[in-house]
Structure 1
Amino acid sequence: MELSFWWMPLLWAFVIAGVLALAFVLTRRRMRRRPARAAVPVAHTERLTALPAYRRALTRYRALLALSVAAVVVALAAAVVLSARPVAVSAYQPELRNRDIVLCLDVSGSMVDYDAEIVDTFSDLVDEFDGERIGLVLFNASAATAFPLTSDYAFVEKQLSELGDKMRNADEDYSFANGTLLGNGSSLIGDGLGSCVMRFDDIGQERSRSIILATDNFVAGEQIVTLPEAGEFATENDVTVYGINPGDVASKSYIKDLADEFEKVVADTGGAYYALDDPGAIPAIVGQIQSEQAADMTGATQIVKTDIPVWPIVAGLVGTAGLMFLGWRLKR
């Protein structure tokens, strides 16, 4: 046990000493000013004080008086300890959930329906996160941040829900893709991945950084950054890329070379490649990120002070109750 305000007992000691000194001085002055009264002699008082009943009463009175003083001391000591705030001090190292996950979606026309399913699946997983930061970037000819990295899961869930609704009604409202059509082409995956890597902050800090990249990998147009260059950029910044390619199916063998390149780039970052069109892969990817990319760190040692006023309070109550009882007995 420690006292948060260790100086309080010293302050109380000075106050009590001052009160006692003041009481002593005032009593002395009063006694000096009080006129002397003539004493009344009483004969044979020794017979009275020698009586057994008198001795028992005197002994009882002295015992009650001593117990009363002890009760006052206990109550006063309890008050002093409480005023000094007794605490239990412990140290622990908290675990920090240092995971950043950016969901990077290709919102070209051929991907919108699939993106809606991914967004819905990812929205269902939000409740399972605990401390991870999540961000969302949409890209086509250019990239636009739907929302930056955040651990405000209520906000994330709301944004994903609204985005999913808009994607399912893309024929009527394509506003969710604003900012993604500023380049020449479509599905510029290299530019998209490079932009997603740049959405991570505090690059110098040790964190687990992952990108879930969903694209059909059918590039149409001239990219500023090629996919292999974007993959190298991700590796340089310790970002792991998990790729989902619903376009990698047997019926689209004419883009097999592009799919192989996509898979190699993802593997080089330490991630995994999924050649399927099942949004159910998302939970598996997130589980893999949480298990293999945990990078949970112990934070700086935290000192925790827990108030422990129970015993001083109990002692104060006992002392006060005892003083009241003894005072009642002294009057009898």
Structure 2
Amino acid sequence: MDAFLLTMAGQTMAGPTMADGWTDGLRLDGFSLRWPLVGIGVAAAFAILWYIAHRAAQRSAYRPADDMPPVWTLNDDMQGIAADNRYRGWIRANRAAVVLLSIVGLVTAALCARPSAIQRDNDAATRRDIVLCLDASESALPYDQQILESYLKLTEHFSGERIGLSIFNSTSRTVFPLTDDYSLVKNQLQYASDLLANLTSSGSVANLTQDQIAEIDRWLEGTWNITDASSLIGDGLVSCAMMLPEFVLNEGRSSGTTAGSGSGTSASSDRTGMILLATDNMTNGTGVYTLGEGLDLTDRSNIAVDGLYAGTSLTSGTSEAVEMRTLIERHGGVFEMPSSQDAIDNLVRDIDNRSVGEEQDINRSDLRDRPLLFLAALALLWLLYLAIEGALRR
């Protein structure tokens, strides 16, 4: 159902909302009619159809001439009071059927007018922006499904944080920008996890169908625009940082100007920017930034970067893994292996420790469709009408 979302952060919404203004004078026991003119039109159409049908029935009914004497039969005389009672009952049932049919028309018109209700919630939201930054190069791709599962587990600990996802190889692609729509976040992460579930090694590509390969290629599209390089981790990190309004790319700029929002836009000093970087640190080619330079830039913008190593315990001692751990921890971040049982708890603890300011109170008003009561009433009324109509036919 469509929902008109009105959100105001940090203050209580007093007085009528925009949705209230649209529906003033059209409320009934907590309900609002979003399309009142449509309902009026449907009711008028029902009235016109009933009038036409009524006039047609009157014209087709047999009426004896005024000077024709009444005709009585012996059967009429023998039936007496019983026949009269049945006739009176038939009249009452017929009138009840007409009334029910009229109410059915009114309820149908109300349904067409879209009955809605305003749902107000008061939520507490944190002041954190978190970008999930995923290496989607050929060497890291077999481990990305495990990384995505770690991301999913991590989101279960969040409440009110804005989350975004970016994937990179030689270039970057934003899968979804910063949002607090957790259903979207979880759906996107689960879709990517399921997509890569059968891609556990470079050799497992041979076991995939052409449709699966094509779907993976579509998901990765936009990450290999530089053909003579791959896994440009420093560039990928900076691209992820540019999703955050707190990020300042050029040191010469004023501290209130951000790279992610363009010149002249002030950064949100009351929010915490964080990046969760997942990579194997195996760079192939020369990028604009190295991992160390990218971490220096995020550090100057007070953006914390935590690391998830895309590999196994057997490769955790390689020079690439050691370098990544050293650089992440040197800049104040947490380095974890996805297979570690304490990885998620350690990351959540680090994220909680980096909060800026207190939680925000977000007053949210949603104008939502509420047709269920009207549909139930319509079904009940229609069943009663059919029952009376059946009795009349008998």
TM-score normalised per structure 2: 0.48
SS at 1:300 equivalent = strand
Match of 2:102 in 1: 80
Deviation at 1:69, TM superposition (A): 0.9
- Specify which of 307, 313, 316 is matched with residue 243 of structure 1: 307
1:136-175 map, 5 Å: 136-139=166-169, 142-145=170-173, 148-149=175-176, 151-152=187-188, 155-161=191-197, 164-166=200-202
Aligned length: 277
Q: Residues 92 and 302 of structure 1 are in contact (CA less than 8 Å); yes or no, is this contact kept in structure 2?
A: yes
Match of 1:321 in 2: 390
Match of 1:195 in 2: 239
Q: Residues 194 and 234 of structure 1 are in contact (CA less than 8 Å); yes or no, is this contact kept in structure 2?
A: no
- Specify which of 300, 303, 310 is matched with residue 369 of structure 2: 303
Deviation at 1:117, TM superposition (A): 3.9
Structure showing the higher helix proportion among its residues: 1
Instruction: Give the RMSD, CA atoms, in angstroms.
Output: 6.0
Structure 2: which 5+ runs fail to align? 1-27, 157-161, 177-184, 206-216, 246-259
1:87-166 map, 5 Å: 87=111, 89-91=115-117, 93=119, 102-105=132-135, 112=139, 116-117=142-143, 119-123=145-149, 135-139=165-169, 142-145=170-173, 148-149=175-176, 151-152=187-188, 155-161=191-197, 164-166=200-202
State the AA in 2 paired with 1:165: S
Cα 1:20–1:117 shift into 2, 3 Å: closer
Paired with 2:382 and 2:323, the residues of 1 have a C-alpha distance of 81
- Specify which of 3, 8, 11 is matched with residue 48 of structure 2: 11
SS at 2:237 equivalent = helix
Paired with 2:325 and 2:68, the residues of 1 have a C-alpha distance of 121
Deviation at 1:178, TM superposition (A): 4.9
- Percent same amino acid among aligned pairs? 12
State the AA in 2 paired with 1:59: I
Paired with 1:213 and 1:260, the residues of 2 have a C-alpha distance of 13
Question: How big is each residue's C-alpha offset from its partner over 1:91-122, in whole Å with a ceiling of 9 and x where there is no partner?
Answer: 2549999x9853333869xxx57x74453242
Cα 1:199–1:16 shift into 2, 3 Å: same
Paired with 2:274 and 2:101, the residues of 1 have a C-alpha distance of 56
Paired with 1:242 and 1:297, the residues of 2 have a C-alpha distance of 32
Deviation at 1:63, TM superposition (A): 2.0
Q: Residues 146 and 338 of structure 2 are in contact (CA less than 8 Å); yes or no, is this contact kept in structure 1?
A: no
Question: How big is each residue's C-alpha offset from its partner over 1:247-268, in whole Å with a ceiling of 9 and x where there is no partner?
Answer: 999x9999997444422xxxxx
Deviation at 1:222, TM superposition (A): 6.6
Structure 1: which 5+ runs fail to align? 41-47, 49-53, 170-174, 264-272, 326-332
Q: Residues 213 and 243 of structure 1 are in contact (CA less than 8 Å); yes or no, is this contact kept in structure 2?
A: yes
State the AA in 1 paired with 2:98: L
Q: Residues 135 and 233 of structure 2 are in contact (CA less than 8 Å); yes or no, is this contact kept in structure 1?
A: no
SS at 1:314 equivalent = helix
Deviation at 1:62, TM superposition (A): 2.5
Match of 1:71 in 2: 93
Are 1:312 and 2:381 counterparts?
yes
Are 1:31 and 2:65 counterparts?
yes
Cα 1:321–1:161 shift into 2, 3 Å: closer
Cα 1:257–1:14 shift into 2, 3 Å: same
Deviation at 1:214, TM superposition (A): 2.9
State the AA in 2 paired with 1:304: R
Q: Which has the larger radius of gyration?
A: 1
Match of 1:275 in 2: 335
Cα 1:125–1:89 shift into 2, 3 Å: same
TM-score normalised per structure 1: 0.54
SS at 1:315 equivalent = helix
SS at 2:371 equivalent = strand
Which stretch shows the higher mean deviation, 7-16 or 59-68?
7-16
